[in-house]
């Protein structure tokens, strides 16, 4: 979604900010803009479209050289995609320039009020209201702090803001409420951004702002206060992201790079979460005790994380015998919960910033339920607001289509299910040791699957002109079918459906003809025979079958047009091995169709609006 970066220091602000904007590109956006402060005047340039449109415009219409500025990538919510609605927004008298992530819920009320005070609005955005409100309060008694405090307390909704004030060329005001904002601490320079990728090049020392905080960022000093104006003490953390994490390296796209990083993710989690061939995810004794007291689990998540949740349900129910429901966050957060204190809510999210999932966890809290988060980003809102957190250690995921984070989520849920089953006495020691040994060999098996990259590219050549693709899986690999379909939809814009193989005959079978590619995920599992029957049903209707199966599977081979052989693993690990070829299939299909898999149209990396 939208991205913010602000800089005050000694370097050329325009270049720091445009590089920062490029780093934020992956989050999804439809316009971009930049403002710098020079000689008591704020200069703004903004353009609908991609950042290179803005860069072209900056060549035409130079900005004055300056060492302070703010910039933004906008993902439209209020008002269409055009130059005027792009951020930054100047206040009527040019005193403030504002960039904003989030939504102001009471903007029409505030706008109406300001119009009565002779404010005229140029854009259709909620953000311009913030700029004018701040200016209106400031002009009242020329007290900046008072004006900021009045403004933030009148705004309802979610907002991360970076603000330039024309009377101070050593100040960026940053404000956070329900939308992330991070301060990057440099030497004689400081930055503010909605995502640390925007400033990693300059510094790895960061302060994560909490909700309801304001920061005054200067070249040599950063201060914090709360929305009542009381000073807040903050400490910085050192970001241990590798320099190359936000770079594509030799890969043409982040999505491909991240698919190839999956063996590393699995190995990292194996190392962190196992000791002496046993899972040790529940080292925190309070968490262990809490989990043992729970008789029901509700998983809430969105998109790919929801699919990981479905795998978690199968495994937790099988290994630990605890009933699990999986709900879309967007549904879970708005319904009445019939749950008691023996229910645990698990919120799964790569970014930890998905608005629906945050709302879901807050809803759970309103009911007094304990929340365990499974997230990738430690500093995220979901990580901070949950009672317990388990990290998936996937590293920065830049591609909008989640790949390595999914693998991390599924792996962590697998370990959690296994450990719960073990401590409940349902899985004996020797069985757990065997299972962990199988997990240890997983990275090697994934490497083998990655060697199929060109074979999968050839299969993509056979399907990339199709209008529809169907994905079928059963049992543990039903979520794989859903995830395979989501991946191809997101990055190649081909309509795809994922279905439980056994359910297909109850309706979707009517779609099958010689033009429909049907991807059947059927590695050796307890669902094998039944899925084979579904494959026969598709074959009998002349569907073109692409199968994801284990080596030497003659029965599936007979009904398949194209085959992707994956190494055999124990059933509980098949959701990890069988999704990898589907990620590659989606990737190559997208590239063949001329789509950018890293930045699919209309999508954002983390969906921070409800
Ligand atoms: C995944 O490929 C998607 N981009 C999307 O479905 C994503 O998984 C969803 O928005 C949830 O995001 P989160 O995991 O960051 O909460």
Residues with CB under 6 Å of ligand 1 are 302-305, 349-351, 354, 357, 400-402, 490, 606-607
Does the pLDDT of residue 243 top 70, yes or no?
no
CB atoms within 10 A of CB 438: 13
Residue 284: the pLDDT is 86
Question: Average pLDDT of 424-451?
Answer: 96
- From ligand 1's centre to the CA of 327, what distance in Å? 14
Residue 131: the pLDDT is 98
Contact 394, 267 (CB under 8 A): no
Q: How confident is the model at residue 75 (pLDDT cuts 50, 70, 90)?
A: confident
Residue 27: the pLDDT is 78
Question: Average pLDDT of 501-523?
Answer: 93
Contact 449, 567 (CB under 8 A): yes
Residue 599: the pLDDT is 87
Does the pLDDT of residue 244 top 70, yes or no?
no
CB atoms within 10 A of CB 234: 15
For 474, the 3-state DSSP assignment is coil
DSSP string, 514-574: TT-EEEEE--SSTTHHHHHHHHHHHHHTT-EEEEEEETT-HHHHHH-SEEEEE----GGGH
Terminal C-alpha separation, the chain: 12
Residue 264: the pLDDT is 97
Q: List Cβ<8 Å contacts ≥24 apart for 227-236.
A: 227/149, 227/152, 227/153, 227/177, 228/149, 229/145, 229/149, 234/207, 234/209, 235/207, 236/185, 236/205, 236/206, 236/207
Q: Whose CA is nearest to atom 5 of ligand 1?
A: 303
CA dihedral of residues 128, 134, 140, 141 (deg, nearest 10): -150
**Residue 158 burial (C-beta neighbours within 10 Å; 0-12, 13-18, 19+):** buried
The phi, psi pair for 608, rounded to 5°, reads -95, 10
Q: How far apart are CA 449 and CA 227, in angstroms?
A: 52
- From ligand 1's centre to the CA of 90, what distance in Å? 33
Residue 242: the pLDDT is 65
To the nearest whole percent, how much of the chain has pLDDT over 90? 88
Residue with tokens 């719960």: 420
Question: pLDDT digit string (tens) for 352-409?
Answer: 999 999 999 999 999 999 999 999 998 889 999 999 999 999 999 999 999 999 999 9
CATH class of segment(s) 3-245:
alpha beta
Residues in the chain: 610
Is beta strand 237-238 parallel, antiparallel or unpaired with respect to 205-208? antiparallel
Q: How far apart are CA 59 and CA 68, in angstroms?
A: 19
- From ligand 1's centre to the CA of 302, what distance in Å? 6
Residue 385: the pLDDT is 93
Q: Name the nearest CA neighbour of 176 among 230, 132, 231, 225.
A: 225
**C-alpha angle 185/186/190, rounded to 5°?**
65
Looking at the annotation, which residues are catalytic? 2, 605
Q: Whose CA is nearest to atom 6 of ligand 1?
A: 303
Phi-psi region of 328 (alpha: psi -120 to 50; beta: other; left: phi over 0): beta
Measured from the Cα of 303, ligand 1's closest atom is 6
Q: How far apart are CA 517 and CA 484, in angstroms?
A: 13
- From ligand 1's centre to the CA of 604, what distance in Å? 9
Q: Which two tokens stand for residue 397?
A: 């995921």
Residue with tokens 């403004």: 151
Measured from the Cα of 304, ligand 1's closest atom is 8
List CB contacts of 119: < 8 A, sequence separation 6 or more: 92, 132, 136
Question: Average pLDDT of 288-300?
Answer: 94
Residue 327: the pLDDT is 97
User: What H or E segment, with its residue span, contains residue 214?
Assistant: strand 213-217
Does the pLDDT of residue 319 top 80, yes or no?
yes
E strands of 241-363, at which residues? 274-275, 278-279, 296-301, 324-328, 343-349
Question: Average pLDDT of 591-599?
Answer: 95
Q: How far apart are CA 158 and CA 104, in angstroms?
A: 6
- From ligand 1's centre to the CA of 605, what distance in Å? 7
Distances (CA, A) of 583 to 256, 519, 574: 9, 12, 15
Cα 41 off chain centre by: 37
Measured from the Cα of 605, ligand 1's closest atom is 4
Q: How confident is the model at residue 139 (pLDDT cuts 50, 70, 90)?
A: very high
Fold of the 447-599 domain: Rossmann fold (3.40.50)
Does the pLDDT of residue 262 top 80, yes or no?
yes
DSSP-assigned letter for residue 231 = B
Fold agreement between 3-245 and 447-599: no
Question: pLDDT digit string (tens) for 520-550?
Answer: 999 999 999 999 999 999 999 999 999 999 9
As a whole number, the mean pLDDT across the chain is 95
Q: List Cβ<8 Å contacts ≥24 apart for 264-268.
A: 264/443, 265/392, 265/393, 265/394, 265/395, 265/404, 265/407, 265/408, 265/411, 266/407, 266/408, 266/411, 266/439, 266/442, 266/443, 266/446, 266/576, 267/443, 268/393
Question: pLDDT digit string (tens) for 406-434?
Answer: 999 999 999 999 999 999 999 999 999 99
Contact 367, 343 (CB under 8 A): no
Question: Average pLDDT of 541-561?
Answer: 96
Q: Whose CA is nearest to atom 7 of ligand 1?
A: 303
Buried b or exposed e, range 246-276, using 16+ CB within 10 angstroms: bebeeeebbbbbbbbbbbebbbbbbeebbee
CA dihedral of residues 521, 524, 528, 532 (deg, nearest 10): 60
Q: Whose CA is nearest to atom 16 of ligand 1?
A: 349
DSSP-assigned letter for residue 62 = P
DSSP-assigned letter for residue 210 = P
Q: How far apart are CA 84 and CA 67, in angstroms?
A: 25
- From ligand 1's centre to the CA of 350, what distance in Å? 7
Measured from the Cα of 357, ligand 1's closest atom is 16
**Domain regions of the chain by residue span:** 3-245, 257-440, 447-599
Measured from the Cα of 301, ligand 1's closest atom is 16
Question: pLDDT digit string (tens) for 3-55?
Answer: 999 999 999 999 999 999 999 987 778 899 999 999 999 999 999 999 999 99
List 47's β-bridge partners, or say none.
Answer: 32
**Pocket test residue of 347, 354, 378 for ligand 1, highest count of atoms within 8 A of CB:** 354
Point out the least confidently predicted range of 191-195, 198-202, 240-244: 240-244
Is the domain covering 257-440 a CATH 3.40.50.10490 domain?
A: yes
């Amino acid at each position: 979604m939208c991205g913010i970066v602000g800089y005050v220091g000694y370097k050329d602000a325009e270049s720091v900010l445009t590089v920062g904007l490029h780093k934020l590109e992956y989050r999804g956006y439809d316009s971009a803009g930049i403002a710098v402060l020079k000689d008591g005047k704020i200069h703004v340039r903004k353009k609908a479209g991609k950042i290179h449109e803005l860069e072209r415009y900056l060549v035409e219409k130079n900005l004055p050289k300056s060492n302070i500025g703010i910039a933004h990538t906008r993902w439209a919510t209020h008002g269409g995609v055009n130059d005027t609605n792009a951020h930054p927004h100047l206040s009527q008298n040019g005193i403030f320039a504002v960039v904003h992530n989030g939504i102001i819920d009471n903007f029409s009320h505030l706008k109406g009020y300001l119009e009565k005070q002779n404010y005229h609005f140029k854009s259709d955005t909620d953000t311009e209201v913030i700029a004018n409100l701040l200016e209106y309060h400031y002009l009242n008694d020329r007290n900046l702090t008072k004006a900021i405090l009045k403004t933030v307390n009148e705004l309802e909704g979610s907002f991360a803001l970076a603000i330039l004030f024309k009377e101070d060329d050593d100040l960026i005001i940053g404000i956070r409420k329900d939308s992330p904002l991070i301060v990057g601490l440099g030497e004689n320079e400081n930055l503010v951004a909605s995502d640390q990728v925007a400033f990693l090049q300059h510094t790895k020392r960061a302060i994560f702002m909490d909700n309801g905080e304001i920061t005054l960022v200067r070249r040599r000093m950063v201060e914090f206060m709360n929305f009542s104006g009381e000073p807040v003490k903050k400490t910085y953390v050192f970001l241990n992201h590798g320099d190359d994490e936000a770079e594509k390296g030799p890969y043409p796209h982040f999505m491909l790079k991240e698919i190839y990083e999956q063996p590393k993710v699995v190995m990292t989690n194996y190392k962190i979460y196992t000791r002496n061939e046993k899972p040790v995810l529940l080292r925190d004794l309070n968490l262990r005790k809490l989990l043992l007291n729970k008789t029901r689990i509700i998983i809430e998540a969105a998109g790919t994380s929801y699919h990981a949740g479905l795998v978690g349900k199968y495994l937790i129910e099988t290994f630990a015998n605890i009933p699990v429901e999986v709900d879309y966050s967007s549904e879970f957060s708005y319904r009445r919960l019939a749950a008691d204190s023996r229910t645990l809510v698990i919120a799964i999210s790569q970014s930890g910033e998905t608005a629906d999932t945050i709302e879901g966890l807050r809803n759970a809290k309103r009911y007094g339920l304990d929340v365990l988060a499974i997230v990738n980003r430690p500093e995220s809102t979901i990580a901070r607001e949950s009672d317990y957190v388990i990290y998936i250690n996937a590293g920065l995921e830049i591609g909008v289509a989640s790949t390595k984070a999914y693998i991390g989520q599924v792996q962590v849920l697998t370990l959690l299910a296994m450990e719960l089953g073990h401590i409940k006495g349902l899985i004996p020691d020797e069985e757990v040791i065997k299972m962990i040994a199988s997990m240890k060999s997983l990275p090697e098996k994934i490497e083998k699957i990655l060697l199929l990259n060109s074979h999968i590219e050839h299969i993509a050549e056979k399907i990339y002109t199709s209008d529809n693709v169907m994905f079928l899986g059963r049992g543990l690999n039903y979520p794989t079918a859903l995830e395979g379909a989501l991946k191809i939809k997101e990055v190649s814009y081909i309509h795809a459906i994922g279905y439980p193989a056994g359910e297909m005959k109850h309706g979707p079978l009517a779609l099958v003809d010689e033009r429909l590619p049907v991807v059947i995920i059927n590695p050796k599992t307890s669902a094998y025979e039944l899925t084979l029957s579904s494959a026969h049903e598709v074959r009998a209707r002349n569907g073109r079958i692409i199968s994801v199966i284990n080596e030497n599977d003659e029965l599936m081979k007979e009904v398949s047009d194209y085959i992707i052989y994956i190494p055999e693993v124990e059933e509980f690990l098949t959701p990890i091995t069988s999704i990898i070829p589907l990620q590659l299939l989606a990737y190559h299909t997208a590239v063949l169709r001329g789509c950018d898999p890293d930045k699919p149209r209309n999508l954002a990396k983390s969906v921070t609006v409800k």
